[in-house]
Amino acid sequence: MSKAISEEKEETQQASNEKPSENEIALPTLASLLRAVSDKFDADMFLYSGRLDREGAVSFIEVTEVHKKRPNAILVLTTHGGTADAAYKMARHLKRTYQRFTLFVFGPCKSAGTLLAIGADEIVMSGVAEFGPLDVQLLKRDDLFYRNSGLDIAEALRTISEHAFTLFEKQFIEMIMRSNGAISTKTASGIAREIAVGLLAPITAQVDPIQIGEVRRAVRIAKDYASRLKGNPNTIQKLVEGYPSHSFVIDIDEAQELFENVRLTHPLEELLAITLSKDSEEGTGHECVREPYPHNAIVMPLNLFEESEKADDGEDVEQQAASKDSDGESATNGEEVNANVTND
């Protein structure tokens, strides 16, 4: 009996050292995934991770001009925002240079990133991806690194206005009621006005009219850029005025209500996000696909990975990705697993 058990252990050990069977799925490389996605969309692929600014926009345009090989483009974008000028410049360049521009979002794509998304022909979002309002970020006076949100200023003005009316209304009604009509409406309104103004004067004195003008002008610029990118007027209005904070999360469900061209990642694209995130962390110490790079923006053509490594067959990679995303059921009666990834 012991001899039989020993022989069985030896056979198991030998089997574990053998190559994977045909039904086992090997994890595809980053290069093969990029090749499969590029072939599927017939597109050049680019990564932008970090703040959207003029320097980054110029670098991005130069990279796309050097590495243009296909009729379409895919941009993997991760950003907390930046300047509307940079976002508009990049979006217009992609639409002018390529027949079709697809935006992949695997993490935050806020503020100016949302403006750039308005120009995309298709938006592909993962489950953790998010957009944000078309907010304006202004440098705080006396602080080099801190930025005020334009929404903060708008909310402050709205709050002051509401408090002013509430104070006036309360004082006016109380004077009329307590005087039993002895105080005229005109007198009561004048006294109530003076009280409301006196209480709020210290607060309103801190309001900088120049900064208010900056916010209004910046918001108008963002709206005009969005209109030039053929954005829906109702969507633009909602993105500018419909959210209370810069950090407000617009997930895929809400994004599909705002935009007509949004869908969830397919298995192949989700596998690409995971693999690309892992590889970027190993190379930079930061998950550039999931979180914006904290220093100067990373701008690079992803198709370079294809050239540095022999790619697997694109169709096989799609089958691997779809199989990995399935419920984990194994093939029976010796049949091979058959999985397909289809376009919307």
Question: How many structural domains comprise the chain?
Answer: 2
| 96 and 128 fall within a common domain | yes
Copy the structure tokens of residue 184.
Answer: 């005229």
What is the reported pLDDT for 214? 72
Percent of the chain whose pLDDT exceeds 90: 49
Q: What's the rounded mean pLDDT across residues 70-77?
A: 98
The verdict on residue 263 lying in a domain is: yes
What is the reported pLDDT for 329? 44
Residue 298's DSSP bridge partners are: 49
What is the reported pLDDT for 185? 81
Please say if the pLDDT value at position 252 is more than 90: yes
Distance CA 287, CA 283 (A): 9
Edge-to-edge strand ranges of the sheet holding 72-78: 262-264, 122-125, 100-105, 72-78, 43-49, 298-301
| 102 and 156 fall within a common domain | no
Distance CA 43, CA 72 (A): 4
Please say if the pLDDT value at position 77 is more than 70: yes
The verdict on residue 271 lying in a domain is: yes
Cβ distance 90 to 29 under 8 Å?
Answer: no
Q: Residue 104: pLDDT band by 50, 70, 90 thresholds?
A: very high
| 193 and 160 fall within a common domain | yes
What is the reported pLDDT for 155? 59
Please say if the pLDDT value at position 344 is more than 70: no
Which residue intervals of 1-83 are DSSP H helices? 2-17, 30-41, 54-67
> What would the pLDDT profile of 256-294 be if each residue is shown by its tens digit?
999 999 999 999 999 999 999 999 888 888 999 999 999
| 240 and 301 fall within a common domain | yes
**Phi-psi label, residue 264: left if phi above 0, alpha if psi -120 to 50, beta otherwise:** beta
Please say if the pLDDT value at position 326 is more than 70: no
Please say if the pLDDT value at position 166 is more than 90: no
Please say if the pLDDT value at position 301 is more than 90: yes
Q: Which helix (H) or strand (E) holds 167?
A: helix 150-178
Strands (E), 248-294: 262-264
| 45 and 130 fall within a common domain | yes
- CA-to-CA dists, residue 290 to 40, 262, 267, angstroms: 23, 19, 17
- Show the domain range for 64: 30-140+231-325
What is the reported pLDDT for 156? 61
- Residue 283 dihedral angles phi and psi, to the nearest 5°: -85, -35
Q: What is the average pLDDT value for the chain, to the nearest integer? A: 79
The verdict on residue 282 lying in a domain is: yes
Higher pLDDT, 110 or 175: 110
Please say if the pLDDT value at position 179 is more than 60: yes
Distance CA 223, CA 237 (A): 8
Cβ distance 145 to 115 under 8 Å?
Answer: no
Distance CA 188, CA 168 (A): 10
Q: Residue 148: pLDDT band by 50, 70, 90 thresholds?
A: low
User: Residue 50: which CATH number?
Assistant: 3.90.226.10
| 154 and 73 fall within a common domain | no
Higher pLDDT, 14 or 148: 148
The verdict on residue 240 lying in a domain is: yes
137 contact partners, CB below 8 Å, separation of at least 6: 81, 82, 111, 147, 148, 149, 150, 246
Cβ distance 118 to 91 under 8 Å?
Answer: yes
| 38 and 182 fall within a common domain | no
| 116 and 48 fall within a common domain | yes
**What's the start-to-end Cα distance of the chain, in Å?**
59
What is the reported pLDDT for 294? 92
Strands (E), the chain: 43-49, 72-78, 100-105, 108-109, 122-125, 130-131, 137-139, 147-149, 262-264, 298-301
What is the reported pLDDT for 333? 40
| 40 and 107 fall within a common domain | yes
The verdict on residue 129 lying in a domain is: yes
pTM, 2 dp = 0.70
Percent of the chain whose pLDDT exceeds 70: 69
**Closest residue by Cα to residue 119 from 267, 190, 240, 222:** 222
Domain boundary among 156, 173, 207: 207
Q: Residue 310: pLDDT band by 50, 70, 90 thresholds?
A: very low
What is the reported pLDDT for 138? 52
| 184 and 294 fall within a common domain | no
| 192 and 321 fall within a common domain | no
| 123 and 39 fall within a common domain | yes
The verdict on residue 65 lying in a domain is: yes
Please say if the pLDDT value at position 317 is more than 80: no
The verdict on residue 338 lying in a domain is: no
> What would the pLDDT profile of 182-227 be if each residue is shown by its tens digit?
778 888 788 777 877 776 677 666 767 666 667 778 888 999 999 9
Q: Residue 47: pLDDT band by 50, 70, 90 thresholds?
A: very high
